[in-house]
Amino acid sequence: MGVHDARMDRIDRLLTPGELAVYLDVPLTTLYAWRYGGEGPAGFRVGKHLRYRWSDIEHWISERVRESESNQR
């Protein structure tokens, strides 16, 4: 598996709220509060289960970085 293949696997992978909370190093309650307030990464339901796509998470992180950089100027 090459670098490109590994990246595609990660982009296509769905994360549970618990996995995302661990990845972002935030409490699960914070993740749910962000979702309720429309502040966190986009999530969607698979049946009754909440899931997050890597591509949406990466986009959300990139937006936070851009906002942070523009606020420092």
Query: Looking at residue 13, what is its pLDDT?
Result: 86
Q: Output Rg (C-alpha) for the chain, integer angstroms.
A: 14
The pTM of the full predicted model, rounded to 2 decimals, is 0.78
Name which of 10, 36, 6 is nearest 23 in CA terms.
Answer: 10
pLDDT in tens, 15-73: 999 999 999 999 999 999 999 999 999 999 999 999 999 999 999 999 999 988 888 77
Instruction: Name residues whose C-beta falls within 8 Å of residue 13's C-beta, 6 or more positions apart in sequence.
Output: 53, 54
Question: What span, in angstroms and rounded, lies between the C-alpha atoms of 15 and 18?
Answer: 8
Task: For residues 5-13, give the mean pLDDT.
Answer: 63
Domains of the chain: 3-72 (1.10.10)
Of the two residues 8 and 71, the one the predictor is more confident about is: 71
